[in-house]
A and B are shown apart, each in its own frame.
Chain A
């Protein structure tokens, strides 16, 4: 019980990575029921996950293009290959 929060923090992160086993889910649920700090930590991770979801949706790189010189170079390489 004593080392609970440290161990629970790994499980909390894992819940964003993989499907937890039934036992693990129970452990989290039980611990969250009595520990507001770990609930808060979970909420912070959920907020971060939401931010990264936004990031993936609004691809900041969407205007970046392959430089024109590189296009020309690749084109001539491809032509040689034909």
Chain B
């Protein structure tokens, strides 16, 4: 049973698309994502005797790919130094000197399902995400869009959980401001 599974061509056929999407949603680069699939399958094939069959094959492959993605992000950060300096606190602009809200947040009325169904809204959301500073955006998307756990993200970006929480806070502040400006506050609903 296990032997029959041990065929990398079959892995490619059955899990290649899935692995590709997994990498693509985290790396946003089709060529890179495709290389990740190749590297993952190669590494899996070379180490296939380590597959014990106590998880599904797909889970095992994804586990291998996850490490490769983390390695890649770590290398890239060292290479380009996309740091988001913590010393400069962008949240100050949202609050007055005494720490109260600069623009009083009002409540949003729409429910998330209805918003999601609205293609126009999704475009605004993408637009707002694209305006976040690079590191904030990468971390925020990995957390909220692909649903990775904090440990994975901290590992990849070499940050502490506290730093991650600060970045998430900043991203949320910026995003809700942008969404309010371009949707909830200004948009006339039909």
Whether A45 contacts B172 by the Cβ 8 Å rule is yes
Q: Interface size (B, Cβ < 8 Å)?
A: 54
Which of B34-42, B51-59, B62-70, B78-86 is the interface stretch? B34-42
Whether A6 contacts B99 by the Cβ 8 Å rule is yes
Within B135-169, the residues touching A (CB, 8 Å) are 144-147, 150, 161, 164-166, 168-169
Whether A48 contacts B38 by the Cβ 8 Å rule is no
Residues in A with CB closer than 8 Å to B164 are 17
- Whether A17 contacts B165 in the complex (CB less than 8 A), given A2-B99, A50-B112, A78-B41, comes out as yes
Whether A48 contacts B116 by the Cβ 8 Å rule is no
Whether B116 contacts A61 by the Cβ 8 Å rule is no
Query: Which residues in A have some Cβ–Cβ distance to B below 8 Å?
Result: 2-7, 9-10, 13-14, 16-18, 37-41, 43-45, 47-56, 58-59, 61-62, 64-67, 70-71, 73-75, 77-79, 81-82
- Whether A54 contacts B112 in the complex (CB less than 8 A), given A44-B105, A73-B38, comes out as yes
Within B89-141, the residues touching A (CB, 8 Å) are 91, 94-95, 98-101, 104-108, 110-113, 115-116, 125
Query: Which residues in B have some Cβ–Cβ distance to A below 8 Å?
Result: 8-9, 12, 16-17, 19-21, 24-25, 30, 34, 37-38, 41-42, 45-46, 91, 94-95, 98-101, 104-108, 110-113, 115-116, 125, 144-147, 150, 161, 164-166, 168-169, 172-173, 175-176, 179-180
Contact of A47 among B110, B150, B173 (CB under 8 A): B110
Task: State in angstroms the CA–CA spacing of A6 and B91 once bound together.
Answer: 8
Residues in B with CB closer than 8 Å to A79 are 9
- Whether A51 contacts B38 in the complex (CB less than 8 A), given A4-B99, A5-B100, A61-B21, comes out as no
Whether A5 contacts B165 by the Cβ 8 Å rule is no
Whether A81 contacts B116 by the Cβ 8 Å rule is no
The minimal Cβ–Cβ distance linking A27 to chain B, given in whole angstroms, is: 14
Whether B144 contacts A52 by the Cβ 8 Å rule is yes
Whether B104 contacts A37 by the Cβ 8 Å rule is yes
Task: State in angstroms the CA–CA spacing of A49 and B144 once bound together.
Answer: 8
Task: State in angstroms the CA–CA spacing of A70 and B30 once bound together.
Answer: 10
Residues in B with CB closer than 8 Å to A64 are 17, 20-21, 24
Residues in A with CB closer than 8 Å to B34 are 66-67, 70, 74
